[in-house]
Amino acid sequence: MNLKDCYNFDDFRKLAKKNLPAPIFHYIDGGSDDETTLRRNTESFSKCDLVPDILASVGEPDLSTEVFGKKIKMPIFLSPTAMQKLYHHDGDKASARAAEKFDTFYSMSTMSTSSIEEISNISGGPKLFQLYIHKDKSLTDNLIDRCKKSGFNAMCLTVDTVVAGNRERDYRWGFTTPPKLTLKSLLSFALHPKWAINYLTHEKFQLANVSHFTKKGSSIAKGVMEYINEQYDPAMSWKDAEYCIKRWGKPFAIKGVMSIEDAKRAAEIGASAIMLSNHGGRQLDGSRAPFDQLPAIADAVGGKMEIILDGGIRRGTHVLKALSLGATACSFGKGYLFALGAGGQKGVEAVLQKMQDEIKRDMILLGCKSVKELNKSKIIFR
């Protein structure tokens, strides 16, 4: 199996599973506790149906939309995800280059294995930075100021990770950052020599944006969950979010909003966007799926701010359903991480091409000339 055999999300997942050591694969694949929310994120899209209009003379549909002050060529972009060097030795560089090629947003995690400056130097495409509030406030300020200097277009503050979720697969498979050999993981690493050689012969693993502030999580074997619990500020408040919005001064999203009241509060403190997200089902298990919350939140704040749906996206039809219910755009994480593990930059380009093709084809079949025509008339809940 190789990239040319990958036609959908499941195919990229299978190839990534073949290429990656088990602890690394399951870190992407897993969720928290019983992984109920992880499953619901995608299942929620099956509760409704698209209603096509015929003889609409669509021609070549316009997939573009504007988000974070930038026009992007299709209404989906790469969610911020940590430690991409674990999945391919080019890591964030591969993702950033692929996103630029498709003229959509690449998003960088605070816990990236490439630095803000490195990505700025290799990509001229639209870029978003994902911020966490650290206990060391000077680190938070430093990240904001460096993104300004490096020309990032937008920023989001992730608010649903004040403590780490209970990701039992990580314990079961012995996942740590950087990876270390245990009796459980040794066989899996040995059975993936190409990954091991690339990991050992390329640039050393480190959390590039914070390594000059702290060695935790980079130069010592420290689990990512321990890093979150030790470094992130569990007392983060709306005041902290408002401070970051003002210090940044450009398009800013609150990521992890799931309630109507929080959406309204985000608008009140000056956020230009919200990202409906439960962290891919990796934090509070049993929480609502973003798609299930979208209609009510769109009714409450639609028109006042941009709404990004993040979670469970597997198909172009999922994107069209989200936009029909009021989302400005969608973002996805697992989909492109599996593609990154399957084939590096070429893999990410392949999954973006698949998504673009699906969205385009499905818009033609739906009878829509532009994403602006997507509205509640296009969708019915059973």
Write out pLDDT tens, residues 9-36. Answer: 999 999 999 999 988 999 999 999 999 9
Which of 26, 88, 134, 279 does the annotation list as catalytic?
Answer: 279
pLDDT at 232: 78
Upstream peptide bond of 178 is cis (omega within 30 degrees of 0): yes
What is the arithmetic mean of pLDDT over 321-347?
A: 98
Give yes or no for residue 90 having a pLDDT over 90: yes
Q: Are 212 and 232 in contact (CB under 8 A)?
A: no
In whole angstroms, give the CA distance from residue 338 to residue 88: 10
What percentage of the chain has pLDDT greater than the value 90? 76
pLDDT at 119: 97
pLDDT grade, residue 185 (50/70/90)?
Answer: low
Lowest-pLDDT choice from 60-74, 108-122, 129-143, 300-314: 129-143
Give yes or no for residue 220 having a pLDDT over 70: no
Residue 175 identity: F
Each residue's pLDDT tens digit, 264-293:
999 999 999 999 999 999 999 999 999 999
What is the arithmetic mean of pLDDT over 162-180?
A: 79
pLDDT at 189: 73
pLDDT at 225: 61
pLDDT at 199: 76
Give yes or no for residue 214 having a pLDDT over 70: no
What separation in angstroms does the CA of 218 have from each of 24, 214, 268? 16, 8, 37
- Domain boundaries 3-381, CATH class: alpha beta
Residue 226: Cβ within 10 Å count: 14
Say whether 279 is catalytic. Answer: yes
pLDDT at 231: 77
In whole angstroms, give the CA distance from residue 38 to residue 35: 5
Q: Are 103 and 76 in contact (CB under 8 A)?
A: no
Nearest to 155 by CA among 237, 248, 40: 248
pLDDT grade, residue 221 (50/70/90)?
Answer: very low
Residue 283 identity: Q
Q: Taking all residues of the chain, what is their mean pLDDT, rounded to a whole number? A: 91
